Amino acid sequence: MVIKKMMEILAKNKSANLLLLAVFLTSCSSRITVKNPANRFISPEAAGEALKGNVNLFLSGGVNSEVNLSKETTNEPLQFDDTQKLDTLIGLGASVGIVKNIDLLLLSNGDNYPLMFGFKYQILGASKKEKKAKGHSVSVVALIGSAVDEQENDDAVELTPQDDEAKIDLSVTSKEASLLYGYRFDKNSLFYMGPRYTVTQFDGTLETDNVTLDGQKIDYWGDSFAGVMGFMFDFGSNTKIMIEGSHQKLNWQRTTNKTFNTISAGVGFSWY
């Protein structure tokens, strides 16, 4: 009697079960992801001496730009998602003096974005080593980075539940320039702000059991304009806390522009 009753319930809900199954299959993620980081935490003050510098650890906010493969084409407009995993959320920056007014920069914004190298040139004001109770500072920054990001099925690329071999070696290149203005209220408090322009390109070829998508080329180019504003507060001579806000506009080809705001925080350690 119990078994018969259960069979009747299953029969009544057969259509609903099939609908749920269809929704599940069509909602599986089919995306290739490149991050657009918002935060840099770069001070306008140079170290002021060779081999002096600092290391920053911060929360790397931003937006993911995603290629949606669910329609079995690689020319769809990019989609955006601001969800960040731990491996994309942690940022790391380093600045080391080369000569008095020039620093070597290293910047990592986590996975799905290349490691960036570059230089900062301070054109006005006292350096970090010479920091005064009050004063203005101005610097220009240039960064470049390139990396190959291997994305596989069950990670960022999920073409179908049966496709265990889907992958792409995604080449990502980014270049950026910024102008930073700073004002030091006292020896321990620095305010900074400025514009930033970034150009990013990513491309690769899909390898998959999906006949329609196998061998298809992915190629996107875009730029972004951002305005940043932040504060750095020194504690003692070697430690600081940082807060930074960013307003950024993304312009990807074949995609409607995206504007987003981010506020983040971090800590820094220096040797001067």
What is the per-residue pLDDT across 182-221, written as a single tens digit (0 to 9) for each?
Answer: 999 998 999 999 999 999 999 999 888 888 888 999 999 9
The residue segments making up the domain with residue 176 are 2-271
Between 216 and 4, name the one with better pLDDT: 216
Q: Which amino acid is at 49?
A: E
Please state the φ and ψ torsions of residue 242, each to the nearest 5 degrees: -135, 145
CATH number of the domain where residue 193 is located: 2.40.128
CB 208 within 8 A of CB 218: no
Angle of helix 2-12 relative to helix 14-26, nearest 10 degrees? 50
Q: Which amino acid is at 27?
A: S
DSSP 8-state code for residue 254: T
Distance CA 183, CA 48 (A): 17
Instruction: Tell me how far apart the alpha carbons of residues 190 and 234 are, in angstroms, rounded to a whole number.
Output: 9
Cα–Cα distance for residue pair 129/152, rounded to 1 Å: 46
Phi, psi at residue 89, to the nearest 5°? -90, -25
Q: Which long-range contacts (CB under 8 A, 24 or more apart) does 160-164 make?
A: 160/28, 160/210, 161/25, 161/28, 162/209, 163/208, 163/209, 163/210
For residue 15, name the pLDDT band (cuts at 50, 70, 90): very low
Q: Are 119 and 101 within 8 A, CB to CB? A: no
Q: What is the Cα–Cα distance from 221 to 200, expressed in whole angstroms? A: 6
Structural domain count of the chain? 1
Q: How confident is the model at residue 271 (pLDDT cuts 50, 70, 90)?
A: very high
Mean pLDDT of the residues in the chain: 85
pLDDT surpasses 80 at 9: no
